[in-house]
Amino acid sequence: MNKLQIIMFCQLIVGFQSTAQNTGPVYLDSSQPIEKRVESALSLMTLKEKVDMCHAQSKFSSKGVPRLGIPEIWTDDGPHGIREEVFWDDWSGAQWTNDSCTAFPALTCLAATFNPDMALLYGKSIGEEARYRNKTVLLGPGVNIYRTPMNGRNFEYMGEDPYLSSRIVVPYIQGVQQNGVSACVKHFALNNQELWRDHINVVLSDRALNEIYLPAFKAAVEEGKVGAIMGSYNQFNGVHCCTNDLLLNQILKKDWKFEGVVISDWGGVHETDKAVRNGLDLEMGTSIDGLTNNGGIPYSEYYLANPFLKGIESGKYMEALLNDKVSRILRLIFRFTMSQNRPYGKFISPEHSEAARKIAEEGIVLLKNDKQSLPVPVGKYKRIAVIGENATRSVTLGGGSSSLKVAYEVTPLAGLVALYGKKSVVYSQGYASGSVSYDREEQSHANTDSLVHAAVETARGAEIVFYIGGLNKNRFQDCEGGDRKTYNLPFGQDKLIEALLKVNRNLTVILLSGNAVAMPWIDKVPAIVQSWYLGSEAGNAIADVLTGAVNPSGKLPFSFPKKLEDNAAISFGKLSYPGDSINECYKEDILVGYRWFDTKHIAPLFAFGFGLSYTNFEYGKITTDKKTYNKDETIKVSFTLKNIGKVDGAEAVQVYVSQPKASVLRPAKELKAFKKVFLKAGESQSVELEVKVKDLAFYNEKTHGWSVEPGQFVLHNAASSAEVKSSVSIQVKKE
């Protein structure tokens, strides 16, 4: 051991012994400002130690500096639960006995709550589980925009509207990070399909980029203070997003002043020079990792490993580029892992089960309820048929990186049996989808005709049928790595539903999915429920809604088109989606989702923001606190909401804004405020919301900034994008 090593060793020992008295090395003293600690640690690190912090050392971890007491970074999927432990250099599960988790609802369900309080509860709960498992970074949430119903990964995201996504993602991040775990919002940016995701080049206007695809990321940075951001696989402007100068250096770090860590998606880095210069900080998952896989790239040969080190030593790269990356990584470690206020966390607790159930119940959307078919109270029927594979199939498995090893999962059938009783419920599978697979399309060997025949006979002898189907997180369903192949329900479900209706018209369809689906049978079915992927408490939440123990209050976070061609992106042909395998042009521009349907006067199957209740709500006329506003003011909106039914319930009220005369194309309306209001039967409440005048702006491609034009704007209170209750006009003054 040389003299310098002896000094460093003594500093380390003294640091550990005296941290409690705040007299040790600055970087170990958690009472010191983080920037001072970063500067102190950086000054003591060797060049190689700094480079080693910029790339993976295993599937999910990167190096710390052991001799200085700086810990490793441990990341983990996913946004819906803490993924099982895997081997150091292998994706296979490590077969631990203590890494089963609570599965929380998919983020489409969270967005459907239209309730930021649920997002905070979600983040806090999953953050506690991540902390207990000693994770540094939770790889989520995802906020990529729902552009088409075909994207295999839509279930991981928060819908089609940038404002809704922004309001839900911020409290989620805050909830996670109060546990001493950094969230990692993903995938930055324009990762809106799985087909050709590793190379497709996205072409779109600056206006669409800024108005539709970036706002949720911006909110995550500026309001949520997120500790990390993950780049996406695809290209933008001909450059991969994990090493994209415009996205990472100019927008994220310069314009938004992001001080955290940019982490690559696993395998999203393709060359050293762009990785060094264009804003990436931590490289993960390049090719096949490690030392145990034949043909794999050793971690030491990652683009930000030895090639980076040699480039600095040869003078090709300034050490300042390295120091910026390491400073960000140290900042994350000191802010979270080495925070003196870091709690201990907890795992699969009763509180987490309660949170998962509450979020699921608030996110379930009642789409149709003719003749008040629902709810079905316990005791109303003596024979209830439950039909459909999703009634018994685990939907916490599959889907790619969001697949979970759960401590328990209450299936829909189990939840219904628990409330209605074993004697009242009879089950038939109806269809079969094959075993769970991420990387290939599995086929079932079951006899389809026999399954259909058995289901029809079961339905014939029942007083009511609960059909529980949808998608299932298999390859080409809702699954990472591949987009859906059809808008219709898979595995012959449409024909099965038609066959069931021929023998029993009292049929409720309960769909488990993260995407819209075609419904050719919609006019024949009296009731439809959108139930998402609900996690560990799925069966209990579904049963509570069907029996009426819980009044549904979810609202759709994306539009359901009647036919696939009605979707904006798909309406423009293959170059718009899915592209020609090289480029993809977002020809719908800013008219995504309800903006397209409303502006082009195309009726959707179900509108954005739509959702029924077991009660009814009466909206009063919308008013504002005044009629004329300056550009730096806030519009105060109010109206009365009354529960005019006989059941306690909640309504997610929405405020949209229109600009009748504008110098550029503006959508017919845009969501600018919402609020979940809980009312007892007969109760009324004055609802108050705020809209900032600056949020009425459009992105001006001529000035490369945001513009609020003077003139008339119209504010609407609404139950959905297609159901405006009343409107009021205001004027924005000319400066």
Report the catalytic residues.
Answer: 265
Closest CA to 176 of 213, 132, 219: 132
| DSSP single-letter state for residue 548 | T
Strands 617-619 and 634-643: antiparallel
User: Helix 350-363 vs helix 116-132: angle between axes, to the nearest 10 degrees?
Assistant: 150
**229 is written with which tokens?**
């951001």
* Contact by Cβ (8 Å): 680, 648: yes
DSSP characters over 636-668: EEEEEEEE-SSS-EEEEEEEEEE-SS-SS---S
DSSP-assigned letters across all residues of 420-476: H-TTTEEEE------S--SSS-----S-HHHHHHHHHHHHHT-SEEEEEEE--SSTT
Residue 62: CB atoms within 10 Å = 24
Q: What is the DSSP string of 485-546?
A: S-SSPSTTHHHHHHHHHHH-S-EEEEEE-SS----TTTTT-SEEEE----GGGHHHHHHHHH
Within the chain, what is the greatest distance between any pair of CA atoms?
87
HEC string of 281-299?
Answer: CEECCCCCECCCCCCCECH
3-state secondary structure of 718: strand
What is the β-pairing status of strands 527-530 and 507-512?
parallel
Q: How far apart are CA 83 and CA 406, in angstroms?
A: 9
Single-letter code of the amino acid located at 154: N
Q: What per-residue string of b and e applies to 623-652 under the rule 16 or more CB within 10 Å gives b?
A: ebeeeebebeeebebbbebbbebeeebbbb
Consecutive H or E run containing 127? helix 116-132
∠ CA 518-520-526, rounded to 5°: 105
Q: Which two tokens stand for residue 32?
A: 């010191």
Q: 321 Cβ partners below 8 Å, 6+ apart?
A: 276, 277
Contacts of 295 (CB under 8 A, 6+ apart): 288
Please check whether residue 232 is in contact with residue 239, taking contact to mean a CB–CB distance below 8 angstroms: no
Measured between alpha carbons, how far is 31 from 18 in angstroms, rounded to an integer?
A: 12
The answer to whether 220 and 185 have CB atoms below 8 angstroms apart is yes
Residue appearing with tokens 């690190």: 45
Residues 619, 320: Cα–Cα separation, whole Å: 59
Q: By the 8 A CB rule, do 229 and 184 touch?
A: yes
Q: Amino acid identity of 566? A: D
**Which pair of tokens denotes residue 565?**
């061609």
d(CA 20, CA 30): 9
